[in-house]
A and B are shown apart, each in its own frame.
Chain A
């Protein structure tokens, strides 16, 4: 079965610094990969998705992620952190386009220091 592992349950960066949130996946077939963001007391919101097109995927709020098959990774980056980026981020993997088999990582909480 497919799965994702998020390295680091908590990441802290200074405002203006690079954000790097790590996600590695396990899948027997080419996967679909997603990053979601969850702000306090809210539901999850899709940040970006990889569905076998371009390996570098751009999402909302200046985030992007690169699919690296050789490393089975889908790390999320943002060049310059903003205070408003503080949230919990979830990586997810699905083998089917209809998402009934989506598996989420445990999440990484991003803190941004002024």
Chain B
């Protein structure tokens, strides 16, 4: 199993550009999450999904959108990038039976200038 994979690993965006961060898991987990990690701060939940077709906002959803058309994929969309979105983004997944045991991807480091 590859676990949770994220692409790209690094990206530099200009203000106002758009991009999609990809996340795929091969563990057949129904729960998936997107977090951002700012320097000196803990992770903050952006969006989460409890299954295909179901998504909901987390603690910091503004400026982002998500979709969940399949169990495996949970892409995160930035429509109009802003410097405040410079961060490291982590995708995670978990099984509903052990929702606390989240498996994390390696992260995407995004810089908006």
Contact = CB atoms under 8 A, between A and B. Distances in A.
Contacts of B106: 41-43
A13 interface: no
Contacts of B103: 43
Contacts of A101: 45
Interface stretch (A14-22, A45-53, A64-72, A76-84): A45-53
A41, A46, A49, A90 pick with most chain B CB within 10 angstroms: A46
B90 interface: yes
A61 interface: no
Nearest to A50: B100
Contacts of A9: 40
Contacts of A42: 104, 106-107
A106 to B, nearest CB: 5
Given A98-B31, A98-B99, A99-B94, A105 B104 contact: no
Interface string A27-47: 000001010000001111110
Interface residues on B, range: 20 to 34
Contacts, number: 63
A43 B31 contact: no
B26 interface: no
- The B contact surface, by secondary structure, is strand
A43 B99 contact: no
Contact of A43 (B48, B58, B107): B107
A63 B90 CA distance: 24
A90 B42 contact: yes
A76 to B, nearest CB: 15
Contacts of B43: 44, 90, 104
Given A106-B40, A106-B41, A45 B100 contact: no
Given A43-B106, A46-B102, 10 more contacts: A42-B107, A43-B107, A44-B90, A46-B100, A98-B31, A99-B31, A99-B94, A100-B48, A100-B58, A106-B42
